Amino acid sequence: MEGVNIGQLVYLVALGLAVAFWFVSQNRQSLNKTLQQVMAWVFIFVGVIAVIGLWEDIRSSVVPAPQMTVSGETIEVPRAYDGHYYLPVLVNGEPINFLVDTGASQIVLSAQDAERAGIDPNQLNYFGRALTANGEVRTAPVRLETLTVGPITDQNVSAWVNEGELHKSLLGMDYLHRFSNIQFADGRMILSR
């Protein structure tokens, strides 16, 4: 440490001791009660900091998630609290919640979601490669019998299964290009055919 830092540290320690000595001398008669009140304020302070730090987790579990609305062949998807759009899709009749990813080219299924859709990830040929934020991963091409979003059903849709760790399946631009109009307005993604 430099001389200036040591001097400041000594000053702060002396100041802290002086404040503590003043506090004890002023509250000698009711020191136990005063310490209880100080501890109550410390716990309140720690509780407020914990709530602030965990607010996003608390809000996402307490507040219901906004729902997709369908009118005719127009689908409106509200933006989630994390800023992303999630689209509930039936893949081969199984409900899977996709992250709409305009940075992804294809539909990419996680191994868990592929299994739910009736695809055995252990029987696939992982010869494709994809560059992700976590590095390069191997992928396997698959054909989905049906892909249903609201009233719209597509058949024989190409997709990829990601061999790496993928927390959410991705709905990429190959699928989004099937819509004639894609808009982002007022915190909603509007898809129409």
Q: pLDDT tens digits, residue range 28-65?
A: 777 778 778 878 888 998 888 888 887 766 666 665 55
Within 8 A by CB and 6+ apart from 147, the residues are: 89, 90, 91, 107, 153, 154, 155, 157, 175
The average confidence (pLDDT) of the chain is 85
Q: How far apart are the first and last CA of the chain?
A: 68
- On whether the CB atoms of residues 48 and 159 are closer than 8 A, the answer is no
Rounded Cα distance, 1 and 90, in Å? 63
Q: What is the pLDDT of residue 144?
A: 93
Q: What pTM did the predictor assign? A: 0.63
User: Is the pLDDT confidence value at 146 over 90?
Assistant: yes
Q: What is the pLDDT of residue 130?
A: 79
Please give the residue that has the higher pLDDT: either 103 or 2: 103
Q: What is the pLDDT of residue 59?
A: 65
Q: Tokens 């959410």 sit at which residue?
A: 168
The 10s digit of each residue's pLDDT in 63-112 is 555 678 888 888 899 988 888 899 999 999 999 999 998 888 889 999 99
Please give the residue that has the higher pLDDT: either 184 or 3: 184
Would you tell me how many other CB atoms lie within 10 Å of the CB of residue 171?
Answer: 26
Q: What is the pLDDT of residue 112?
A: 92
Q: What is the pLDDT of residue 2?
A: 62
In sign, the C-alpha dihedral spanning 152, 119, 162, 57 is positive
The 10s digit of each residue's pLDDT in 104-140 is 888 999 999 999 999 998 888 888 887 777 778 888 9
Q: What is the pLDDT of residue 60?
A: 61
Give the confidence band of 16 by pLDDT, cuts at 50, 70, 90.
confident
Domains within the chain, CATH numbers bracketed: 3-62 (no CATH), 69-192 (2.40.70.10)
